[in-house]
Structure 1
Amino acid sequence: MQPYEERLTAPRSWWFISLLVGFACALMFLPLGTLPLLGGLVGGTAVAGVVVSAYGSMRIRIVADSLVAGEAKIPLSALGDAEVLDAEEARAWRSYKADTRAFMLLRAYIPTALKVEITDPADPTPYAYLSTRHPEALKAALAAVRAA
């Protein structure tokens, strides 16, 4: 069993918006008849749903000796201190405090985050900013795996 795994799913309202996109596509095909209207509804909803699903499929997990965040795989030996960011502090690190060299797994619909220093001297990345709904649990899991 993995010590931590989280999927950064999109909010439910985004699924409703994908349905609205389907309705908008249907309206574009309305002058062409009923069959194109239904095709626009189904096709537009499906495409918007795929986009929402893909955007909300990012995962953060600890696997063996690595932190896997989206496409990045960072060895635990290269990680330093972790800092839990509340909504206000996370907003600051997403904007004016952000370093352009940082790795950011950013999901704006998730208000909290964890900022983890990267201590590998060969890596120019100063820290990893990870949007997470459970920053305390991720920090504790990182500490537990490093202590083991």
Structure 2
Amino acid sequence: MRFYTERLRPGIWMFVAAFLIVPGTMLVLFPISIPAAVISAIVLYVLVAGTLLYSSPTVSVVDKTFTAGRAQISVDQIGEIEAFSGEEATAERGPRSDARSYLMIRGWVDPILKITITDPNDPTPYWLVSTRRPHELADAIRTAQGASTTPSA
């Protein structure tokens, strides 16, 4: 059962910033060939924009598994869940962070979820995960935890 899915695509400003590749490429290649400059600039921009979209991680809660990017954990091994945004999120990502924590954060997504790991064999104390909807994700994890303790018929 799918409880939550979110793709952390970059905001529009990332594509606008990536567009700076166009004048840079054209400036370098104009003295050599104007058509090559235009074609190269367009191709490079499309490649960068495609890479930004293709490499966007997914955060999901499916069945009894929470997935953040390439990492997965059973919801049974998740303890306390806290949502942070603004200056609190910045502090959690920086001065208050633990070097042993798992980070799946993106600079273009401000809110984060701090997910405490209860597995005594796991050296990771918690995960910090970027999400645009932290309260919905936290509710989905709690729902999956409740569903995992319900016996199946």
TM-score by length of 2: 0.90
Provide the C-alpha distance between the structure 1 equivalents of 2:137 and 2:97, rounded to a whole number of angstroms: 21
Q: Secondary structure at the match of 1:129?
A: strand
| Identity value in percent | 29
Q: Secondary structure at the match of 2:2?
A: coil
Contact 1:5–1:62, Cα closer than 8 Å, also in 2: yes
Q: Which has the higher contact order (CA 8 A, sep 6+)?
A: 2
The AA in structure 2 aligned to 1:31 is P
Which residue number in structure 2 is paired with residue 63 of structure 1?
62
Which residues in structure 2 correspond to 1:102-113 (within 5 Å)? Answer: 102-113=101-112
The AA in structure 2 aligned to 1:86 is S
**Structure showing the higher helix proportion among its residues:** 1
Which structure 1 residue ranges, 4+ long, deviate > 6 Å from structure 2? Answer: none
The AA in structure 2 aligned to 1:7 is R
Which residue number in structure 2 is paired with residue 11 of structure 1?
11
Higher mean alpha-carbon deviation, 113-122 vs 18-27, is at: 18-27
Post-superposition CA distance 1:45-100 (Å, at most 9, x none): 12321332244x11100111110100001111111110111222111010000001
Q: Which blocks of at least 5 consecutive residues in structure 2 are unaligned?
A: 148-153
Q: CA RMSD in A?
A: 1.4
Contact 1:26–1:39, Cα closer than 8 Å, also in 2: no
Higher mean alpha-carbon deviation, 125-134 vs 44-53, is at: 44-53
Provide the C-alpha distance between the structure 2 equivalents of 1:58 and 1:134, rounded to a whole number of angstroms: 15
Provide the C-alpha distance between the structure 1 equivalents of 2:133 and 2:79, rounded to a whole number of angstroms: 19
Contact 2:8–2:58, Cα closer than 8 Å, also in 1: yes
Q: Which blocks of at least 5 consecutive residues in structure 1 are unaligned?
A: none
Provide the C-alpha distance between the structure 1 equivalents of 2:70 and 2:27, rounded to a whole number of angstroms: 38
TM-score by length of 1: 0.92
